[in-house]
Structure 1
Amino acid sequence: MKLLRRTLIFTLILAGLFSMTACFIMKQKKFGKTPSGERLERIKKSPNWRNGSFQNLNPTPQLAEDTSMPEIMFRFLFGKVEKKAPVHAFHFEKTDLRNLDPNQDTFIWMGHSSYYMQIDGKKILVDPVLSGYASPFSFTTKAFKGSDLYTAEDIPELDYLIITHDHWDHLDYNTVLKLFPKTKKIITGLGTGEHLELWGYNPKNMIELDWFESSDLGNGFKINAEPARHFSGRTFKRNQAIWASFVFESPNQRIYIGGDSGYDDHFKKIGEKYGSFDLAILENGQYNKDWRYIHFLPGENIKAMKELNAKRMIPVHNSKFALAVHPWNEPLQKITELNTENLRIITPKIGENVDWKDDEKVYEKWWEAYD
């Protein structure tokens, strides 16, 4: 009886210590904050807000019907995956962003979903995760060796910082803190501004958009928020901020910034709404049949490109972090194999200065050198 009592007391003490530790960790600023005040009141008026959270346009299970979370965790933790990360470190050349011709239209990929663009004289950065990891803790979800080419210090003064949603692999606390002083405007989905405001960014310089809302940026520039099929959340409480794709329009270009999304009929509707795109930047990687509703499976991004009527596509969301159980180089292999119609799909190296309007340039299959 005494042994049972001691065991029970010890268990309760451990549980209490675990709860206190978890509570302390979750109160750190990097986890952000759920919307409140005027922002919450605006959210509650959104047609996309129901039953206390944002909803996708069509029913979207987090997990496919034929699987379960224990199965997924078991496969992720104990399943054998060949080439989940490159065996050898990447060796890429780094474009000096600070000394680019400001009038040059360019795209520079930083791995995963982080990229820098210059469009008609505007400097734009999307979803920068430049701290070497994509999680709350620096010892997990580390960048592949050689992929973390850029730091926040390499970024020039920005006209626009675009954040598609608040997941850790798209919104990095340490990176954006360093970028705040040199960012004129942040553009993001409705609700994500609560994190940014908590972290010290002036809400007067934020543009928060719900799906189907637009903001005139002046001088022929415009930003439009469109749907994506995904979810949001930096803690256990999900979907308090909306996840979005964005259409960036300049006097001469129309760019589709896809963020994260599973396939759905919104791509066709967006294509019909805008007519065509000069460039679509779409996710390509971190997929699994278990979460096929919230990330493209191979080939679905090609289908989306066609429905968007995009002249060109750059696939991202790969080659920096292992967030799924496929080989690291499979997304790039698959998209080139499945491009049977010879669509203009651009596959640059990390750090490469890309003139994406040059349709004569041939891009090498650089990932094969690291096979």
Structure 2
Amino acid sequence: MIIFLILIGIVALSTFLILRHPKFGKAPSGERLQRILKSPHYKNGKFDNLNPTPQLAEDTSMPEVLFRFLFGKKENLRPSQKLSFSKTNLKEITTDENVFIWMGHSSYFMQIDGKKILVDPVFSGNASPFSFTTKAFDGTDIYSVDDIPELDYLVITHDHWDHLDYETVKKLQPKVKKVITGLGTGEHLEFWNYDPEKIIELDWHEQSDLGNGYQVYCEPARHFSGRGLKRDQAIWASFVFETPNQRIYIGGDSGYDDHFKKIGEKYGSFDLAILENGQYNKDWRYIHMMPGENIKAMKDLNAKRMIPVHSSKFALATHEWNEPLEKITQFNTENQRIITPKIGEKADYLNDTKIYEQWWEKR
């Protein structure tokens, strides 16, 4: 019994010390917490989705999910050989180009009407608090902070480890003019020495005038948040980035729901929607879109074009690594304009004549 209690004590102390590492961020406090408490989306001590959203589907249980995840059949979770990509030199992109460069999973760089934007960058080689877990597929982690030019906007959609990477955003700090994120996430960034004056922190349905005809709007997503033991203390969000010439939808992580239709009706149409495509499972089908639902979301949004992300770099679910891109191509029976660049490839997303190689089929 004494040995058992000592072991329990060691585990508890180790957990306490680990959670004190700065990478876990900080819970909202002070004026930010007061603002959160006034949010209509913060209820019973946490942020909540617009519609009931169970973490697990009704026809399953946590023990079943854990058993299937740990011991179920899993094939081709990772590429069998190292992937090979060429990276675009972001510092050589001319100011008149409208481009999208995917960096794997949900990290991407955009230049939209002269504004340089980086979304959810994870360049540390893994998507978890521990470097030996959730490692990037060989050959996919080709960008580093050194490759990034000075940024007009760093966008963080929510605070999960595969979207908000401590090591990356700390190194990026000198290059970032402004951060755009959801309410609550700014606490992590301030804790990591970001200037609060540079943080634009929005609740759902709020907006910020960026000047010279540029606007950003924060809209709902159907997901959750959290980096430590307490979840849902910062809101998860999608964003609408509007310029004098374009309207772009940055989807973040989201299960399918009627918010896509409402956003489409609110804004009329989008020149481009970037939507999640991967890390799905029927057991958690409310918080990530299942295959084909992103195409429904694209239609709901009245988006002229879509780029699927959230795949091809980390194995966070049990599907084959290239299944998301195979499925979205298979389900695109109406020939919607779905753009599938390679990691590192410069995509002129407004050029609808460009045909993109189905590169995942050859791996």
TM-score range, shorter chain: over 0.9
CA drift at 1:80: 2.1
Q: 2:286 corresponds to which residue?
A: 293
> Secondary structure in 2 aligned to 1:360?
coil
2:71 aligned with 1:78: yes
Q: 2:349 corresponds to which residue?
A: 356
Q: 1:369 corresponds to which residue?
A: 362
Q: 1:280 corresponds to which residue?
A: 273
Runs of 4+ in 1 over 4 A off after TM superposition: none
Equivalent residue letter for 2:311: N
Whole-Å separation in 2 of the counterparts to 1:257 and 1:189: 13
Matches within 5 A, 1:133-148: 133-148=126-141
2:310 aligned with 1:317: yes
> Secondary structure in 1 aligned to 2:23?
helix
Question: TM-score, normalised on structure 2?
Answer: 0.99
Whole-Å separation in 1 of the counterparts to 2:145 and 2:177: 15
Deviation by residue 1:14-44 (Cα, 9 ceiling, x = unmatched): 1001100000000000001110000000000
Q: 1:220 corresponds to which residue?
A: 213
Whole-Å separation in 2 of the counterparts to 1:116 and 1:228: 21
CA drift at 1:78: 1.6
Whole-Å separation in 1 of the counterparts to 2:112 and 2:57: 39
CA drift at 1:66: 0.9
Equivalent residue letter for 1:340: T
Deviation by residue 1:85-123 (Cα, 9 ceiling, x = unmatched): 000111111101111112211000000000000011100
The structure with more radius of gyration: 1
CA drift at 1:323: 0.2
Matches within 5 A, 1:94-243: 94-243=87-236
2:10 aligned with 1:17: yes
Whole-Å separation in 2 of the counterparts to 1:123 and 1:211: 23
Q: 1:48 aligns with which of 3, 26, 41?
A: 41
2:21 aligned with 1:35: no
Whole-Å separation in 2 of the counterparts to 1:205 and 1:100: 25
CA drift at 1:73: 1.4
CA drift at 1:320: 0.1
Q: 1:335 corresponds to which residue?
A: 328
Whole-Å separation in 2 of the counterparts to 1:90 and 1:220: 41
Deviation by residue 1:318-362 (Cα, 9 ceiling, x = unmatched): 000000000000000000000000000000000000000010011
Equivalent residue letter for 2:54: P
Q: 1:245 aligns with which of 235, 238, 244?
A: 238
Equivalent residue letter for 2:82: A
Whole-Å separation in 2 of the counterparts to 1:281 and 1:322: 20
Whole-Å separation in 1 of the counterparts to 2:171 and 2:139: 22
2:73 aligned with 1:63: no
> Secondary structure in 1 aligned to 2:215?
strand
Whole-Å separation in 2 of the counterparts to 1:230 and 1:282: 13
CA drift at 1:50: 0.6
Whole-Å separation in 2 of the counterparts to 1:34 and 1:303: 35
2:297 aligned with 1:304: yes
Q: 1:4 corresponds to which residue?
A: none
> Secondary structure in 2 aligned to 1:17?
helix
> Secondary structure in 2 aligned to 1:304?
helix
CA drift at 1:68: 1.3
> Secondary structure in 2 aligned to 1:142?
coil
Q: 1:255 aligns with which of 248, 258, 261?
A: 248
> Secondary structure in 1 aligned to 2:278?
coil
> Secondary structure in 2 aligned to 1:73?
helix
Equivalent residue letter for 1:190: L
Cα root mean square deviation, aligned: 0.5
Whole-Å separation in 1 of the counterparts to 2:118 and 2:244: 19
Whole-Å separation in 2 of the counterparts to 1:137 and 1:252: 42
Equivalent residue letter for 2:160: H
Structure 1: unaligned runs, 5 residues or longer: 1-7
CA drift at 1:71: 1.4
CA drift at 1:364: 1.1
Q: 1:267 aligns with which of 235, 260, 266?
A: 260
Question: TM-score, normalised on structure 1?
Answer: 0.97
Alignment length (residue pairs): 363
CA drift at 1:67: 1.0
CA drift at 1:76: 1.4
Structure 2: unaligned runs, 5 residues or longer: none
